[in-house]
Amino acid sequence: MIPFGRASRSKRADIAIDLGTANTIVVERGSGVVFDEPSVCCFKAYDAVPEFVAAGFEAQSYVGRAVRPFKVVRPLRNGVLSDMAAARELLRFATRAHRSAWRLSRPRAVIGVPADATEAERRALITAAVDAGLAEPALVAEPLLAAIGADLPIDEPRGRMLIDCGAGTTEVALMSLGAICYSHSVRGGGEALERALISHFALGHRFQIGVSTAERLKVQLSELLQLGRGASLVEVRGLDTASGIPKTITVAAQELWTAWERYIGEVVTIVQTALAEAPPEMSHDILEDGISLTGGAAMTALLADRIEAVSGIRSKVVDQPMRSVATGLLQLIRE
């Protein structure tokens, strides 16, 4: 069992942070969301003596455009900390604008973390938070936070299944009595689909597209699927590697479904594994209550439908899935 961590409730935190692979959200007790920007930083002379330049939306505008001595860095990869300096500067940037409003110069913080994060990954995140000026950082499993934010009654003696579909990791969790009884994850999450699209164009068309283009294409394809227009053509801008000239090419949307199916198949597989591990009583509860999907990647077209078709269990995306963890954090620090 992974405990809910009620000790974090005993000392009231001043702020709570959803440090995600794609976006970072900061919530403050009494004020709600005070920061919501991309999880990205830009440094100068990164490989020598790094000098922080920008973070959030401003740094996002540098992606694919920064040249030496500038370098754009994402603090997290696959849902866990991969760059200490970037994490420290992003946390410092995300919290400094509101520091004067807090009672303490070093505000206490609660931070969401993947349920299967290793002890080393947890220690690294705590170190980055302390270096950023936060006091007593407490870590809470993100699936539990997402369940709280989605208003699932997880304190009851009843089995619940939640799939938290983030950009960096997809986690399936079985919960009962305020604790995670089982969890399994696939590292890569929604970003894996973007990387698959980039790879498809590189190998199949000798055509390079950037991360931002892949992200926009993913959203466009999802919208086409939801509208039942899977046979549509899509225009993609990038670099023709054969000629070295920027171009716009047109491809059939259905050509890209292989990458789509691969991502959905990975999520369905871990759901099947979790269901096979569930005790009979919890299986009965899940069959009655259904499966809840949270996180930005939960809105990927066909994902919930495929899970329901394969498992035979009603599956639905919760309201405001991108804010589930942040909403759970806000409820936690309000208590």
Residue 191 pLDDT > 90: no
**Interval 215-248: pLDDT, tens:** 899 888 888 887 777 678 999 999 999 999 999 9
* Terminal alpha carbon distance of the chain: 23
- Is the domain spanning 154-318 CATH 3.30.420.40? The answer is yes
The secondary element (H helix, E strand) that includes residue 55 is strand 51-55
Residue 29 banded pLDDT, cuts 50, 70, 90: confident
Q: What is the pLDDT of residue 103?
A: 52
CB atoms within 10 A of CB 294: 31
Name which of 185, 177, 147 is nearest 282 in CA terms. 177
What is the predicted pLDDT for the residue at 92?
Answer: 94
Among the ranges given (88-97, 102-111, 221-230, 245-254), the one the predictor scored with the smallest mean pLDDT: 102-111
Compute the distance between CA of residue 251 and CA of residue 279 in angstroms, rounded to an integer. Answer: 46
Strands 108-113 and 135-141: parallel
For residue 291, is pLDDT > 60? yes
Pick the CATH number of 7-39+74-146+324-334 from 3.90.25.10, 3.30.420.40, 3.90.550.10, 1.10.10.10: 3.30.420.40
Q: Are 7-39+74-146+324-334 and 154-318 in the same CATH fold?
A: yes
Domain spans in the chain, listed from the N-terminal domain onward: 7-39+74-146+324-334, 154-318
Determine the average pLDDT of the residues in 267-288: 94
Mean pLDDT of 155-179: 94
* pTM (2 d.p.): 0.88
